[in-house]
Structure 1
Amino acid sequence: MKSLQDEPVEGFKVTLVDESDMYNWEVAIFGPPNTHYEGGYFKARLKFPVDYPYSPPSFRFLTKMWHPNIYENGDVCISILHPPVDDPQSGELPSERWNPTKMSGPSYSA
């Protein structure tokens, strides 16, 4: 959180929902130029579990939108946010799911 506030990422703004809760973030995403989302303002909630980084955070859009990876209630459904369990029914490889090492080190990019 501190690094995002000290060095903001263009097109995003991150704040705490409640100053006493570091696990619950409010995210504002500004639609990138030259896309279908240009000019858009999208609010979302990013919640970290207490055992983060061992379990994935959850991400929910509060702004209504259509996208194949966003459920009607706003929850984002992508492999990287799924717990690292072996689930043959999902069609996802375990390597595509959440892994705490994906969030650290020089290879991580936003």
Structure 2
Amino acid sequence: MAFSSAQLRLMSDLKAIRQEPPEGCSASPVNDDSLFVWSATIFGPDETPWEGGIFSLQLSFSERYPEKPPKVRFISEVFHPNVYRDGTLCMDIIQEAWSPCHNVSTILTSIQSLLTDANPSSPANPEAAEMYLNDRRTFNRIVRRCAQKSLEAPV
């Protein structure tokens, strides 16, 4: 059976993330039949309002990967300036700043750092951005609630 270049690259990404998983992140294909849909988990970074949370994501790859980035969406509820209400992520490395040198590990690591270093100047969620900038206490309280909720949701 011949594999497409996208499948070969996804197999390489899978091998890399299994051999050297990034701190606080994991990912693998949802099922053995397809390499194109992955589920991922990101642990909320320590000493942040996200701490203790276990956030689920879905990564959807196309046959054009790695030329085109995957679509990345939080399955867990997340209140963040750079996450749309439907969980879709607004992040430069999976949009205009995408490069084929990125892989699943670098994407997840970037998402994890975005949790603590939001970019409120390019908001996907204007309410969260406004709160992040002007009412960090309330923002952090909502984030803590999301982190708690992420532990209750079925994984």
Could you tell me which residue of structure 1 aligns to residue 123 of structure 2? none
Q: Does the residue aligned with 2:40 lie in a helix, a strand or coil?
A: strand
> Normalized against structure 1, the TM-score is what?
0.75
Larger-Rg structure: 2
For residues 33-72 of structure 1, what are the alpha-carbon distances to aligned partners after superposition, in whole Å with 9 as ceiling and x for unaligned?
A: 1111000010000111111111111110000111011000
Query: Quick check: which one's helix share is greater?
Result: 2
Secondary structure, counterpart of 1:5 in structure 2: helix
| Counterpart residue number, 2:98 | 98
Give 1:11-30 correspondences, 5 Å limit. 11-30=24-43
Mapping 1:71-86, distance limit 5 Å:
71-82=84-95, 84=96
Does structure 1 residue 5 correspond to structure 2 residue 45? no
Residue number in structure 1 paired with 2:60: 47
Give the Cα separation in 1 of the matches to 2:93 and 2:51. Answer: 25
Aligned-pair identity (%): 35
**Which gives a bigger RCO, structure 1 or 2 (Cα 8 Å, sep 6+)?**
2
Q: Which runs of 5+ in 1 are unaligned?
A: 85-96
What is the root-mean-square deviation of aligned Cα atoms in Å?
1.9
Alpha-carbon displacement from aligned partner over 1:84-109 (angstroms, at most 9, x marks no partner): 5xxxxxxxxxxxx2232x428xxx79
The separation in 2 between residues aligned to 1:99 and 1:7, in whole angstroms, is: 21
Q: Which runs of 5+ in 2 are unaligned?
A: 1-13, 110-155
